[in-house]
Amino acid sequence: MSIENKDWANWQEAMAVEYIENPSQEGRNQRVTRIRPGHADLPGAMKYGFHDVRNSLERASARETAARVAAGAVAMRLLEEFGIKLHSHVISIVEESPVHCADAAAADLMMAEVDAAREAGDTVGGTVEVIAENVPIGLGSHVHWDRKIDAKISQALMSINAVKAVSIGEGWELLDRWGSEFQDVIEPVTDPNNPWQRKTNRAGGTEGGMTSGTPLVARFVIKPIATLHNPLPSVDLDTGEPVRAHFERSDVCQAPPAGVIGEAMMALVLADAFMEKFGGDSIPETRRNFEGYQATVGPRLQYR
């Protein structure tokens, strides 16, 4: 797979390692020293000794997630072979403005919120939900801390640019519930081909670091974009004196496209856990391993 960075040519001279006298992109080779709060500008410059925050801001760009989405598409195709499907939707923008979901009217609320932020030179964040259906029971581990499926999914989603919180299932709401209200009750097995059904899915499809057989549900919050059309007060990298933060081209809200990235990241984690569990050097071999395992998933006196 190859993804062309069509904008690279526009910055070839402006971002050259060695200074170019009078580049063809006149004025674009000026150092950027006005730090943006909420971006990688300051910690990146301090960590690597940069004297130009462009080196940090470019490497911290969410454009790198294009490669994740490409790789995630391959993982999704693998999972589809075994009936696992992923989808996502935005469930809120700022406070009570659900968007990009089954409720078509909610899209109007999102657009109004985004338009208001744009008019004010500001940005907005949002909450995104990613769901994986038909995930088999038992992916992950309750023995190894670094193989817990919910921990790996959380790390993958948290690694997306601007994500500040991750929840598996109703993680954020659990403080308002008693244990008897939160746990997902297991129903009696009446269908031998579909055992271990639940009345609810509040835990989001995981128990003890493993998938439970219910849909895997993860939510994440993406913060408002740090680059504002109406820049925030900040300081200069060279002098430490007050300035207005640097403005680089920017969107107003990244919640909707973040859902696509979230799907890709969850797919990569699930594909890794799936192959760890079922292995194989070909789809037919992996399918045999998978179907053999599925034939044992049920009450112990009936499934051996």
pLDDT in tens, 199-219: 999 999 999 999 999 999 999
The Cα 274–Cα 286 span in angstroms is 9
Domain 66-239+248-294 has what CATH class? alpha beta
What average pLDDT does the chain have? 85
What letter does residue 136 receive in the DSSP assignment? P
Nearest to 15 by CA among 244, 279, 248: 248
Contacts 24+ apart (CB under 8 A), 197-202: 201/169, 202/169, 202/170, 202/174, 202/177
Strands (E), the chain: 85-93, 126-133, 163-168, 206-207, 210-211, 216-222, 233-235, 242-244
More confident residue, 178 or 135: 135
The Cα 43–Cα 50 span in angstroms is 10
Nearest to 129 by CA among 168, 176, 90: 90
- pLDDT recorded at residue 29: 66
Residue 136 pLDDT exceeds 50: yes
Q: Tell me whether residue 179 is exposed, middle or buried, using C-beta atoms within 10 angstroms of its C-beta: 0 to 12, 13 to 18, 19 or more.
A: exposed
Nearest to 213 by CA among 196, 191, 193, 200: 196
Q: How far is CA 191 from CA 194, 294, 299, in A?
A: 5, 14, 11
More confident residue, 93 or 92: 92
The Cα 128–Cα 157 span in angstroms is 10
Residue 130 pLDDT exceeds 80: yes
CA atoms within 13 A on the CB side of 66: 8
CA torsion sign for 256, 11, 69, 139 is negative
Domain boundaries, the chain: 66-239+248-294
What letter does residue 48 receive in the DSSP assignment? H
- The per-residue pLDDT for range 64-83, each reduced to its tens digit, is 999 999 999 999 999 999 99
Q: Tell me whether residue 294 is exposed, middle or buried, using C-beta atoms within 10 angstroms of its C-beta: 0 to 12, 13 to 18, 19 or more.
A: middle
